[in-house]
Chain A
Amino acid sequence: MVDQQPTADATERIVQPGQFYGAGLPYVGMETYPGKIIAIEGTDGVGRSTQIRLLREWLEVQGYGVIETGWTRSVLMQPTIDLAKASNTLNKLTFVLLYATDFADRLEKEIIPALKAGFIVLADRYIYTALARARVRGVDRAYLRSLYGFAIAPHLVFYLKLDVDALIRRVLRWGGMDYWESGMDMKLADDIYESFRTYQGKLLREYSALGEEFGFRTLDARQGIDRIQEELRSQIGAFLGASETPAVR
């Protein structure tokens, strides 16, 4: 409706960790907070929550304050999102906006206060999963970049990458394919297996594109839990060690 194009063509612009991607939250303002955001991305079934649990223990033993935040876990939006999913009434635009609302709520109520207090925020998915899902559904990229202009760029983003074949075997072993994870709303195929395969393939291509755009550190999620954890600790340790403004110790 607005005559001019969205201004937030942030692909051109390098956003420093800890800064807003776009318009930000003008009423909050932006200083450099002492805390750090470490995000773990990846599709379902790559072991994100296990890795985060282990990281949390490791960081806390070293004396860091840690909070976890996870996708659709906001107090404000979780019941609404669950309800909307259960009734399959979401179209792609309301989907995008509900997710953005959930993220905004957690950003302002959990993430920013923790950053101010010098905590490490371990994010079980950040904005990228929402971006990947929306982009696969054909939502305009410039629109999404502007929408998430209030998000703060994480200090580290790890992407646990799994190919479609390995992902399918894991998901089937862990209880099967569900409607949304199979992208059945997109009507890609009548058969849930074919739909899952096509949908997750598209998602993985979006994650790769996002990885380039946002500088993900990619880890091979076919490796064992311990091996992945070791790699995460080594990279996070190096980052925190080199960091000029260490978190509370």
Chain B
Amino acid sequence: MGKKKNLLTPTTFSLLHATDFADRLLYKIIPPLKAGMIVLADRYAYTAFARDVARGVDRQWVRDLYGFAVKPDLTLYFRVPIETSLDRLLARRVKLKFYEAGMDMGWTRDVKESFRLFQGKVLEEYDRLVEEFGLQVVDATGGIPDQQRRVRKLMARELERTDG
């Protein structure tokens, strides 16, 4: 829907993702929460806060836009430098996606360079979010076992806190 042919503006991009999120929140997230289950969300509203602001929408506006969202009990932010994520994507021979590389911004025609510029701004926003919303940072440059150990520790602590 609309992602083809460079049709989206930063605002319609943001609104469409919020619409999709609202739908998932109401049907996939809130019912299991009510049933006392744990919801593991691969990306949440914070992705939008970082990505949409990197595209130039107003910082407060996008936070207000997601005002209907449930605040997560624990948010993990897997942090890697741009070059690492770029290397990983390219090593898997993944073609960089148009919007993920910020090609819609028209900053450069070089996809890799556009990715660096755009994701650089996204990372800056994430750093701001760590402070504003208390995200737990997981160093994602290391090995998977190390990351998983940290994730389990954070999660165990959170579960203990809420159950106790």
Chain B 107-125 near chain A by CB (<8 Å), digits 1 or 0: 0000000000000000000
Question: What A residues does B57 contact at CB under 8 A?
Answer: 23, 25-27
Which of these, A98, A108, A143, contacts B67 with CB under 8 Å? A143
What chain B residues lie within 8 Å of A108 (beta carbons)?
Answer: 9, 11-12
Decide if B64 touches A97 in the complex (CB within 8 Å). Answer: no
Chain A residues near B63 (CB, 8 Å)? 2
Q: Mask for B41-68, Cβ within 8 A of A = 1, else 0?
A: 0000100000000011110110111111
B141 within 8 A of A: no
Q: Per a CB cutoff under 8 Å, which of B10, B18, B22, B71 touches A27? A: B10
Question: Cα distance A150–B61 when bound, in Å?
Answer: 9
Number of A interface residues at 8 Å Cβ cutoff, please give it. 32
Number of A-B contacts (CB under 8 A): 86
Q: Are B69 and A1 in contact (CB under 8 A)?
A: yes
Q: Digit string of A27-41 for contact with B (CB within 8 Å is 1, else 0)? A: 100000000000000
- Of the residues B22, B58, B68, B71, contact of A24 by C-beta under 8 Å: B58
* A residues less than 8 Å from B71 (CB atoms): 1
Residues of chain B contacted by A14 (CB below 8 angstroms): none
Check if B23 is an interface residue, CB within 8 A of chain A: yes
User: Does B11 lie within 8 Å of A104, measured CB to CB?
Assistant: yes
B16 close to A (CB within 8 Å)? yes
A109 to B2, CA, bound (A): 14
B23 to chain A: which residues have CB within 8 Å? 91, 94
B148 sits at the interface (CB 8 A): no
A residues lining the B interface (CB < 8 Å): 1-2, 6-8, 22-27, 75-77, 80, 91, 93-94, 97-98, 100-101, 104-105, 108-109, 140, 143, 146-147, 149-150
Interface on B for A, CB 8 Å cutoff? 1-2, 7-12, 15-16, 18-19, 22-23, 26, 45, 55-58, 60-61, 63-71
